[in-house]
Structure 1
Amino acid sequence: MKKSLMAIGSLFLLGGTATAQKVVFQEYTLDNGLHVILHQDKSAPVVITSVMYHVGSKDENPTRTGFAHFFEHLLFEGTKNIARGEWMKVVSSNGGVNNANTSDDRTYYYEVFPSNSLELGLWMESERLMHPVINQIGVDTQNEVVKEEKRLRVDNQPYGNILAEVKKNMFVKHPYRWATIGSMEHLDAATLKEFQDFNAKYYIPNNAVLVVAGDFEATQAKNWVQQYFGPIKRGADIQRETFTEEPITQTLKATYQDPNIQIPMMIAAYRTPSMKTRDAKVLDMISTYLSDGKSSKLYKKIVDDKKMALQIGAVGFSQADYGMYILYGLPLGANTTEGLLKEADDEIVKIQSELISEKDFQKLQNKFENQFVNSNANIEGVAENLATYYLLYGDVNLINTEADIYRSITREEIREIAKKYLNPNQRLILDYVPSKDKAQN
């Protein structure tokens, strides 16, 4: 489930549930293929302009990984009408903030402005789409920025390579097999024309959705959308390749030595279905049941009661084509990663063989109800959710109805889905250990 801030989210602790308000929106498509979603919320004098592009690391050439994330940075360099280095200054001088993020499946840019700056936000995003300046100076500058980000967040971060190593060993054919940040060697080897071609292929109106959310007048917003985005030419239709992975039928094993750690980590990862499937939502509930918070089954048993671990958890990575469900734990003292895995497996077997209690099930339902409300509790969350449900799920109204799917999940389904996906012969065991010179004494 998605994150946000809302005090009402704490109600589930008292056994109550929050009530979601329906998100009202309009949607339409420009002649050039740009999909537009408008959501009015006049509770605060702010407005968000955001564009989500259907391009992520899975759309990259295997010999040029990291392009999508690189463009997250590169498209702040400047445009024909916004001088290099001026983008952030324009935003901040008008009382706004902006940011961007990239996943395997999409890239998202947004600005939050006072409501009287809606036209400015729309113009800036249209500039990014119509008139980006992609030159060698910008490429060289952002190359250094991305390298520093990789050093900070991955190379020098304890346990920073877990996700990359899981993906590398979990996927054989699918582009999910490489990290979103990509390879610095690939970026170094790329020519300026390759960057320009990537932009021309993917950063086009018919591969994007524009969301305007907040305090604005719909008629004026539509006029400005047409004025600034309407003249942009439609790009060539994108032909996407489908990658199908063979089922995992034998336990996969791999080892990774991390020079930044002293304590090994237990990691067991399962490949799961697309986030668009009902099964994926059931697995979300299983993950929450096992590991969400200190009252979860794994934490209470392994950390609190048996004191075998410093940390234990399970996390699901939801993606458009496949997902991942990853169990992890840090052993305490003389305990081992093998011991932690056995304890976690015992809890999974219980879910596979017994129905979870009615009390635990109700707590789980309440938690998901409140998480759903919380995900739409601020205008930034609503804007990103609207874009995501359109671009990746193909159904904007899931912003109002996805909670119904979670509500309809039964205890019997939880048991059956655990039996279907969470078996020892269907997973990767990653031996994530310290480098030999860093091993714990």
Structure 2
Amino acid sequence: MRYKFLITILLSGIFLGSKGQQIKFTEYDLDNGLHVILHQDNTAPVVAVSVMYHVGSKDENPSRTGFAHFFEHLLFEGSENMKRGDFMNIVSSNGGENNASTSQDRTFYYEVFPSNQLELGLWLESERMLHPKIDELGVKTQNEVVKEEKRLRMDNNPYGKFTENIFTHLFQGHPYRWQVIGSMAHLDAAKLDEFIAFFKKYYAPNNAVLTIAGDLDIEKTKTMVAKYFNEIPKGTPVVKGLFELKPVTKQIVDTVYDANIQIPAIFAAYRIPGMKSRDSKVLEMVSTLLSGGGSSRLKMKMVDDKKTALEVAAFNYDLEDYGAYITFALPNNNTSLNDLLIDIDAEIVRLQSDLISESEFKKLQNQMENGYVSANTKMVSVAENLANGYILQDKNTNDLNEQLAHIKSITREEIRDVAKKYLNKDQRVVLYYLPTK
């Protein structure tokens, strides 16, 4: 048992900084436009190597959705110097772990290795960027993998399509209206040259950031980065589309039936500003206040006291251009969905009308600070958060270190005013999510 615990510590790379400690980093650009961020932490012999590309489902052709998520899978197929299927085997046989994720706005790949395998991680990511294997066999193989993922996560998963149905209404006129996994029909119809063109456009060094965090030597790492990434040619600059959406001025109501559920649910979603907005950060605090933990307002009222809800939550789905503030509840004791919505709305109106108490505000700040520390306990998390700052916060890598100051600067008055500005009945989508009859 102790051996397994030590292995877990090595692979995760525990970040031992105290609350509020600044995360130091070095950043620079290669001639081909690749932005490099290095964070040195020698507390454990582990290193995370990551590349974030500024491409997500938002960048897709509306008739070819799902490409960004598809490449999350396809770029594990190998390269000119790596046989098909070898990527995962190389990582695991050298004591590492790896994964990737795609959102509407970015794609993130990483490996976590014992620090003596740093160079291997750099070689793997340079192979992925320089000459990946994109052929008919790989496309066909990953097409089946993506279809199975869609079946598991959406088609056969209880409540798996709630964001699809909400975003269709909330982001009409914006690429956020389709899901990251995209359309299987679009992927089936796509030709190989379309996949190759998508790769050449978005997976170039000048549309990416390489972030390395952990037990490393800064100067030696710079030398290795130059060795593996300098030769990769610069791509054509990516021009992002701009989308201005008209405000939601009338409540939109929809009903969805799901064969995978027995308990109905009710959702209410509001369009809010993107993650760069200060208001988005305030709404993060509103989420914590309403449903962050057992002593939050909604859970105490609806789950503990009135026992009308099995579960209730509010969360801020923050994205680069816009965001969605979503509340939902599952009924208990045959409570009607409308009664659940009335209770949630009452708490929002209370928030819009009255300042929260000083003691509740202090507790809220502590919760947010603890959440910040928890989000940076692993080297791979530090790498991802540094990259997020550069990619999604107007090249502000230091956003990670500024978050606590933002939290502490938010006032009780702002919480009230932001709730009053965005969380109104005539600015939302209400979704009744019901079992199939």
- Compute the TM-score of the two structures, normalised by the length of structure 1: 0.94
Name the SS for the 1:268 alignment partner.
strand
Q: Distance in 1 between matches of 2:263 and 2:13?
A: 34
8 Å Cα contact 2:14/2:379 also seen in 1: no
8 Å Cα contact 1:265/1:329 also seen in 2: yes
Name the SS for the 1:257 alignment partner.
strand
- Quote the residue 1:304 is aligned against: 304
C-alpha RMSD of the superposition? 1.5
Q: Distance in 1 between matches of 2:73 and 2:15?
A: 34
Deviation of 1:7 after TM superposition, in Å, equals 11
The correspondence of residues 147-186 of structure 1 with structure 2, limited to 5 A, is 147-186=147-186
- Quote the residue 1:198 is aligned against: 198
- Quote the residue 1:284 is aligned against: 284
Determine whether 1:431 maps to 2:432.
yes
Unaligned runs of 5+ residues in structure 1 are 10-17, 437-441
Deviation of 1:333 after TM superposition, in Å, equals 2.6
Deviation of 1:167 after TM superposition, in Å, equals 0.8
Name the SS for the 2:68 alignment partner.
helix
Deviation of 1:432 after TM superposition, in Å, equals 1.2
The correspondence of residues 6-85 of structure 1 with structure 2, limited to 5 A, is 19-85=19-85
8 Å Cα contact 2:14/2:44 also seen in 1: no
Deviation of 1:269 after TM superposition, in Å, equals 0.4
Determine whether 1:272 maps to 2:266.
no
Q: Distance in 1 between matches of 2:327 and 2:67?
A: 29
- Quote the residue 2:415 is aligned against: 414
Determine whether 1:294 maps to 2:294.
yes
8 Å Cα contact 1:54/1:207 also seen in 2: yes
8 Å Cα contact 2:13/2:46 also seen in 1: no
Identity of aligned residues (%): 57
- Paired AA for residue 143 in structure 2: N
Deviation of 1:5 after TM superposition, in Å, equals 10
Are residues 330 and 6 of structure 1, via their aligned partners in 2, closer, same or farther at CA, if it must alter by over 3 Å? farther
Name the SS for the 1:206 alignment partner.
helix
Deviations 1:396-435 (A, max 9, x none): 1111111101100000010000100001000001121111
Determine whether 1:324 maps to 2:337.
no
Unaligned runs of 5+ residues in structure 2 are 1-11
- Quote the residue 2:238 is aligned against: 238
- Compute the TM-score of the two structures, normalised by the length of structure 2: 0.95
- Quote the residue 2:338 is aligned against: 338
Name the SS for the 1:334 alignment partner.
coil
Deviation of 1:315 after TM superposition, in Å, equals 1.2
- Quote the residue 2:9 is aligned against: none
- Quote the residue 2:224 is aligned against: 224
8 Å Cα contact 2:49/2:110 also seen in 1: yes
Deviations 1:80-114 (A, max 9, x none): 00110110111111111110000000000000111
Determine whether 1:126 maps to 2:130.
no
8 Å Cα contact 1:303/1:310 also seen in 2: yes
Name the SS for the 1:159 alignment partner.
coil
Deviations 1:221-280 (A, max 9, x none): 111111110010000011111011100011011121111112210100001101111000
Q: Distance in 2 between matches of 1:311 and 1:65?
A: 33
Name the SS for the 1:365 alignment partner.
helix
- Quote the residue 1:91 is aligned against: 91
8 Å Cα contact 2:13/2:379 also seen in 1: no
Are residues 217 and 5 of structure 1, via their aligned partners in 2, closer, same or farther at CA, if it must alter by over 3 Å? closer
Q: Distance in 2 between matches of 1:247 and 1:99?
A: 37
Deviation of 1:19 after TM superposition, in Å, equals 2.2
How many residues end up aligned between the 2 structures?
425
4+ residue runs over 6 A deviation: 4-9
- Quote the residue 1:13 is aligned against: none
Q: Distance in 2 between matches of 1:219 and 1:346?
A: 57
- Paired AA for residue 415 in structure 2: I
8 Å Cα contact 1:154/1:160 also seen in 2: yes
Are residues 196 and 227 of structure 1, via their aligned partners in 2, closer, same or farther at CA, if it must alter by over 3 Å? same
8 Å Cα contact 1:169/1:254 also seen in 2: no
Q: Distance in 2 between matches of 1:410 and 1:379?
A: 32
Deviations 1:337-374 (A, max 9, x none): 10000001000011100001111100001111111122
Deviations 1:9-40 (A, max 9, x none): 9xxxxxxxx62211110000000000000110
Name the SS for the 2:313 alignment partner.
strand
- Quote the residue 1:401 is aligned against: 402
- Paired AA for residue 113 in structure 1: F
